[in-house]
Amino acid sequence: MRYDRILIAPDKFKGTLSAMRAARAMSSGVRSAWGDTVQVVELPLADGGEGSLVALHSLRPKLNLRADILSNASGLNRSVCYLANETDAYFESARLLSLNFRGNCRLPLLDRTSGGVGRWILHMLSLKKRELFLFLGGTAVCDGGLGILLEFGFHLLDGKGNPIHSLRNLPNARRLIPPTTFTSIEANIKMLSDVTNPLLGPTGAPQLFAPQKGATPSDVALLEDGLARLSHLWAEFAEQGETNWPSGVGAGGGIALPLLGMTRKQATIGSGSSFFLEESGLASTIRPGDLVLTGEGKTDAGTLAGKLVDAVVHLCRKVGADCLVISGAVTDRDRLDAANYPKTIAVSTNGKIPSRKEAANELSQAVKRALALEK
């Protein structure tokens, strides 16, 4: 089947291609297969994790690129970019706390902190920003926002009144004390998650994500207990009866928790994927009969938990457009089949991560081969 229009809407291919480079490579593959007879629209996207700031800047180039000096997960200062205009500011947590940055892995997971994110929020509040957008995903921490809590001047005490500053003692926390000068935050804080996972439990931050960040089984048990205590204390502070936090609070190691607790109605969590579908215009411009190409570094069962590719698949299904997923690698095909996924193609079958140039060429060729079969 031939199409009049092909929309190219990939996420980053982690470790090799940004979403922009991936979209360009896919477009090259389309042209190689079908020439210039089809309209091609490139819409590089993100889902609230790594690459979100770059994707947003490509969609909204009038936003100003700024920089701030903030402490990373190991407490070392580094210059970090963010986007802003007169009233709004956008920050990608992974740009400061990414697991891919060697400095963030300098300390064991139990000693890493989210405090730098808290410092950025405080700076934006001092500048009287009215809307703060925080992309949550892709961090090397799992502190439930303990660093942010401390940065805002809150204190945790154990049963004997001793202060708690470390995740290692967090299960002993019994009281949450606000700073004497604390007032309600007036800015709206919109947090955008790359997953739908809860804070705790089998699919929560400690049990599912902490091992990927270097946690041992004993670390996981301690974190599960500690974040449960923290969740309970914030629920009390927010004067809500239960710890029924919104979907996606497990993103980024639970760093959204203190913001939800201290701001009550001013802080929200939403889908980063949905944000980019709206921001790019894909959600409103896609039509029945279009073909949408999407992809990511690896499509697997985790894709089904709020990732960009999954959001694109569901949008195509809703509108009646055709969808083709071409990713660097594909696993868990039984789970994808059970979710009624469209045709999903792996660029590489040898498990090796290619160079950036090789990755772009291989992705382009994979698109060309896939579309040749559609003639």
Q: Which long-range contacts does 317-322 make (Cβ < 8 Å, 24+ apart)? A: 319/286, 319/287, 319/288, 319/290, 320/288, 320/289, 321/7, 321/286, 321/287, 321/288, 321/289, 321/290, 321/291, 321/292, 322/1, 322/3, 322/289, 322/290, 322/291, 322/292
Q: Which whole number is the average pLDDT over 231-257? A: 92
Q: 71 pLDDT exceeds 90?
A: yes
Q: 353 pLDDT exceeds 80?
A: no
Buried b (16+ CB within 10 A) or exposed e, 119-147: bbbeebbeeebeebbbbbbbbbbbbbbbb
- What pLDDT band is residue 375 in, cutting at 50, 70 and 90? low
Q: 55 pLDDT exceeds 70?
A: yes
Which whole-number Å values give the CA distances from 256 to 34, 101, 138, 147, in the listed order?
A: 46, 21, 13, 11
Percent of the chain past pLDDT 70, that is, above it, reads: 99
The winner for highest mean pLDDT among 31-35, 82-86, 181-185 is 82-86
For 261-309, how does the pLDDT look when each residue is reduced to its tens digit (9 = 90+)? 998 789 999 999 999 999 999 999 999 999 999 999 999 999 999 999 9
**30-39, 58-67, 130-139: which has the minimum mean pLDDT?**
30-39
**pLDDT of 371:** 92
Measure the CA angle with vertex 323, ends 29 and 270; round to 5°. Answer: 110
Please, are residues 50 and 88 in contact by the beta-carbon 8 Å criterion? no
- What pLDDT band is residue 51 in, cutting at 50, 70 and 90? very high
Percent of the chain past pLDDT 90, that is, above it, reads: 89
The pTM (predicted TM-score) of the whole model is 0.94
**Dihedral sign computed on CA atoms, order 113, 145, 303, 271:** negative
**pLDDT of 185:** 86
Q: 54 pLDDT exceeds 70?
A: yes
- What pLDDT band is residue 322 in, cutting at 50, 70 and 90? very high
**pLDDT of 5:** 94
**pLDDT of 300:** 96
- What pLDDT band is residue 64 in, cutting at 50, 70 and 90? very high
Partners of residue 5 on adjacent β-strands = 39
User: How many other CB atoms sit within 10 Å of the CB of residue 293?
Assistant: 26
Q: Which whole number is the average pLDDT over 129-135? A: 98
The strand pair at 5-8 and 291-294 is best described as parallel
For 190-205, how does the pLDDT look when each residue is reduced to its tens digit (9 = 90+)? 999 999 999 999 999 9
Q: Which whole number is the average pLDDT over 145-154? A: 97
